[in-house]
C-alpha cells in the first residue's frame, strides 16, 4: 500500500499550512457563514487525519476537504438546529448547492480567495474592522497575535472581529468579487488595508522598537497573494513599493536601535534581491497610463533605490512625481515630502518656504516630522536658534522612543 499512515499527519499538516485558507474561502461561499466555515474546515482536516491513512489519499485533496467540510457543516447544523426558520433556510441553501467538481478547479478556488479578501475589506466596514478581518480570516493570524501587533487588548480585537462578522451577516454583505466598474474603488479599500498593515510594521506608531517584522512581511505576503489573483497595475505598484521600502530595513536602524536617515544609511546593506524585484514591478506598473498613487510612490522609492550615493539621487524627478501624486491625492503629508525634495533639489531656503506655507495653513502643525524637517533645513542654513526651537517642538510631539532619541541626539549635535 503506497500510503504509509506515518506520512499522513505530515501531509495533512503541509496542506493545512499552505492551502487551508483556500478550503476555508470556498466553504464560506458554500455555507455563507464565517464561523460555520471555520468549524467545517477544522472538521474536514480532522477527518483527513483519521481517514486518509486507511482509505488512501484522495486524488484531489482540496476538493475532498471542501466536500467533507460541507457535509460536516450540514451535520453540525442538523445537530444544533433549533428548527427555527433561519437555520432551516441555511440547511436548504446548503443542500441546494451540491459540490460540483468543476467548481473546485484552481481558478474557482482562487476566485473564492478573492471573494474572501473583498468581503473582509468591504468599505461598509471601518478601516480598523477591515484590517482585523483581513489579518484574521485571510492571513490566519490568531486574534491574540493581531491584538499584540496593533497594541490593543485581545478582548478589544476579538470584539472588533465579532462585530465585523455580525455586520457582514446582518447587513447582508455578500461574498463576491465586485463588478468591473466598481473594482477601482473596492480595490482601493483592499490596498489601503495592506499598506496600513505594512506601515504599522514598518513605522510602529508607538512603543520601544521601530520595526515589527511580522506585520510588514504579512503585508508583503498579502500583496503577493493579491498580485497573483488580481494583477491590477496598482496592486503591482503597491507590491513594488513595499519591497523597495522593506529592502532598506537592515540599514534603517543601528545596532542600538537608533534611527538612521536615508542619506546616512549604509547602502551596501540594502537588500539587492528585493530592490531588483521591486524595480521590475514598478517598471511594469508604470506602463499603465495614468499611473495610480501607489505606482507613483513606488516610482519615488525606486529613484532612491537606484541612487548608489545620496548625492546621485534624482531629486528633480522625485519632485515631479510628488507633484503628480498631489494632483491625484491632495494631502499635506505629500506636500511636505515634496517640500523636502525641493529643498534637496533647489536648496534649503526653497524647501523652508514650502514647509512654512503648509504650517501657516494650520495643516501638520502637530506633526512632528514637519518640525523635524524644518529643523534640519534651518541647521543647514546655520540658523541654529531656529533649528533648536523646531527640534524642541518636534520632540514635544514625537511619540515613539527611537524617534525621541533621534531628536535628542540632533539637539545635542547643535551644541548650546
What residues make contact with other proteins under the rule CB under 8 A?
122, 124, 170-174, 176, 178-179, 182
Q: Toward other proteins, which CB reaches closer, 174 or 231?
A: 174
Those residues with Cβ within 8 angstroms of residue 149's Cβ, 6 or more apart along the chain or in another chain: 135, 141, 200, 201, 212, 214, 215
Say if residues 364 and 336 touch (Cβ distance below 8 Å).
yes
The CA angle 235-133-329, to the nearest 5 degrees, is: 40
Q: Toward other proteins, which CB reaches closer, 173 or 377?
A: 173
Least distance to other proteins, CB of residue 361, Å: 22
Q: Toward other proteins, which CB reaches closer, 118 or 378?
A: 118
Distance CA(347)–CA(352), nearest Å, equals: 9
Least distance to other proteins, CB of residue 294, Å: 24
Q: Toward other proteins, which CB reaches closer, 29 or 122?
A: 122
Least distance to other proteins, CB of residue 171, Å: 4
Q: Toward other proteins, which CB reaches closer, 61 or 178?
A: 178
Least distance to other proteins, CB of residue 306, Å: 42
Specify the length of the chain in residues.
Answer: 416
Q: Toward other proteins, which CB reaches closer, 124 or 162?
A: 124
Q: Toward other proteins, which CB reaches closer, 85 or 102?
A: 85
Query: Residue 308: exposed, middle, or buried by beta-carbon count in 10 A (0-12, 13-18, 19+)?
Result: exposed
Least distance to other proteins, CB of residue 162, Å: 18
CA distances from 86 to 77, 83, 176, 337 (A): 11, 8, 21, 54
CA distances from 261 to 251, 258, 327 (A): 9, 10, 28
Least distance to other proteins, CB of residue 184, Å: 13
Q: Toward other proteins, which CB reaches closer, 58 or 178?
A: 178
Q: Toward other proteins, which CB reaches closer, 85 or 268?
A: 85
Least distance to other proteins, CB of residue 167, Å: 9
Count CB-CB contacts under 10 A for residue 274. Answer: 20
Q: Toward other proteins, which CB reaches closer, 167 or 380?
A: 167
For residue 410, the cross-strand partners are none
Least distance to other proteins, CB of residue 84, Å: 9
Say if residues 338 and 321 touch (Cβ distance below 8 Å).
no
Least distance to other proteins, CB of residue 134, Å: 18
Least distance to other proteins, CB of residue 175, Å: 9
Amino acid at each position: 500500500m503506497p500510503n504509509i499512515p506515518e506520512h499522513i499527519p505530515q501531509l495533512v499538516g503541509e496542506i493545512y499550512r499552505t492551502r487551508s485558507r483556500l478550503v476555508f474561502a470556498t466553504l464560506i461561499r458554500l455555507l455563507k457563514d464565517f464561523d460555520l466555515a471555520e468549524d467545517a474546515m477544522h472538521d474536514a482536516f480532522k477527518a483527513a487525519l483519521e481517514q486518509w491513512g486507511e482509505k488512501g489519499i484522495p486524488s484531489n485533496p482540496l476538493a475532498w476537504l471542501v466536500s467533507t467540510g460541507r457535509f460536516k457543516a450540514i451535520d453540525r447544523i442538523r445537530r444544533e438546529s433549533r428548527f427555527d426558520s433561519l437555520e432551516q433556510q441555511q440547511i436548504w441553501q446548503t443542500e441546494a448547492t451540491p459540490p460540483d467538481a468543476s467548481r473546485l478547479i484552481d481558478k474557482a478556488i482562487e476566485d473564492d480567495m478573492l471573494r474572501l479578501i473583498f468581503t473582509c475589506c468591504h468599505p461598509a466596514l471601518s478601516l480598523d474592522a477591515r484590517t482585523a478581518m483581513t489579518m484574521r480570516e485571510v492571513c490566519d493570524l490568531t486574534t491574540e497575535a493581531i491584538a499584540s501587533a496593533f497594541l490593543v487588548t485581545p478582548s478589544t480585537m476579538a470584539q472588533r472581529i465579532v462585530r465585523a462578522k455580525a455586520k457582514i451577516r446582518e447587513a447582508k454583505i455578500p461574498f463576491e468579487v465586485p463588478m468591473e466598474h466598481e473594482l477601482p474603488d473596492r480595490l482601493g479599500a483592499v490596498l489601503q488595508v495592506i499598506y496600513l498593515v505594512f506601515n504599522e510594521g514598518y513605522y510602529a506608531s508607538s512603543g520601544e522598537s521601530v520595526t515589527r517584522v511580522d506585520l510588514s512581511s504579512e503585508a508583503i505576503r498579502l500583496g503577493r497573494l493579491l498580485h497573483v489573483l488580481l494583477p491590477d497595475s496598482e496592486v503591482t505598484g503597491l507590491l513594488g513599493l513595499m519591497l523597495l521600502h522593506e529592502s532598506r530595513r537592515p540599514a534603517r536602524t543601528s545596532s542600538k536601535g537608533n534611527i538612521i536617515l536615508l542619506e546616512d544609511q549604509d547602502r551596501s546593506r540594502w537588500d539587492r534581491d528585493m530592490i531588483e524585484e521591486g524595480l521590475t514591478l514598478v517598471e511594469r506598473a508604470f506602463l499603465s497610463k495614468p499611473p495610480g498613487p501607489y505606482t507613483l510612490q513606488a516610482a519615488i522609492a525606486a529613484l532612491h533605490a537606484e541612487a548608489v550615493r545620496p548625492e546621485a539621487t534624482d531629486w528633480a524627478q522625485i519632485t515631479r512625481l510628488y507633484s503628480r501624486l498631489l494632483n491625484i491625492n491632495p494631502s499635506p503629508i505629500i506636500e511636505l515630502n515634496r517640500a523636502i525634495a525641493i529643498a534637496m533639489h533647489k536648496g534649503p531656503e526653497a524647501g523652508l518656504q514650502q514647509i512654512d506655507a503648509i504650517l501657516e495653513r494650520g495643516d501638520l502643525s502637530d506633526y512632528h516630522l514637519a518640525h523635524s524637517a524644518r529643523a534640519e533645513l534651518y541647521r543647514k542654513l546655520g540658523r541654529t536658534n531656529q533649528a533648536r526651537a523646531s527640534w524642541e517642538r518636534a520632540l514635544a510631539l514625537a511619540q515613539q522612543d527611537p524617534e525621541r532619541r533621534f531628536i535628542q541626539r540632533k539637539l545635542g549635535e547643535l551644541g548650546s
